[in-house]
Amino acid sequence: MEIQVSEEIVRIVTIRLSGRVDAFVAQPARAALDAEVERGIRHFLCDLSDVEFLDSAGMAVLVSLLKRARQAGGDVKLVLPRAEAALRILRLTKFDRVFDTVDPPADAVRSFLR
């Protein structure tokens, strides 16, 4: 008899952003997320629920993370912002369709395993 047991652990890192995500904070935010990619994280849940304002520089940070994660075989899923001032740019640029979105955040784990 032969028994083969395998186990796969999917590591998902949750990034919670809040407040104003704009050109001023884009550089430190990018550096923090790049550090996560560098340490081998490929699956990200970005919870934007409490983001109050998002501009194109802030959005570029998310797009950069998405590119790097997908290149590594992973993905980035978003919990969309509640505030219209943050949601507006995602709709106008259609990035709300480029990213997979999950709601509530607890659904994210299941969505990564699909």
Partner 1 sequence: MTERVTLDVPASLRHLSILGAALQAWCKRLAPAAAGVAGEIELALQEAATNIVNHGYADGATGRLVVDLHVDGSEITVILYDHGRPFDPTTVPEPDLDTPREHGYGMFLMRQLMDDVSYERVGDRNRTTMRKRLVG
Q: Which residues of the chain form contacts with partner 1 (CB under 8 A)?
A: 20, 22-24, 53, 55-57, 59-60, 63-64, 67, 84-85, 88-89, 92-95, 98
**Nearer Cβ to partner 1, position 24 or 32?**
24
What stretch of H or E contains 21?
strand 12-21
Q: Do strands 12-21 and 75-79 pair parallel, antiparallel, or not at all (unpaired)?
A: unpaired
Distance, in Å, from the CA atom of 100 to the CA atom of 45, rounded to the nearest integer, reads 10
**Nearer Cβ to partner 1, position 24 or 35?**
24
**Nearer Cβ to partner 1, position 22 or 107?**
22
Whether 93 contacts 62, CB under 8 Å: no
- Tally of CB atoms within 10 A around 11: 10
Please report how close the Cβ of residue 110 comes to partner 1 at its closest, in angstroms. Answer: 25
Please report how close the Cβ of residue 52 comes to partner 1 at its closest, in angstroms. Answer: 10
Please report how close the Cβ of residue 26 comes to partner 1 at its closest, in angstroms. Answer: 8
Whether 58 contacts 29, CB under 8 Å: yes
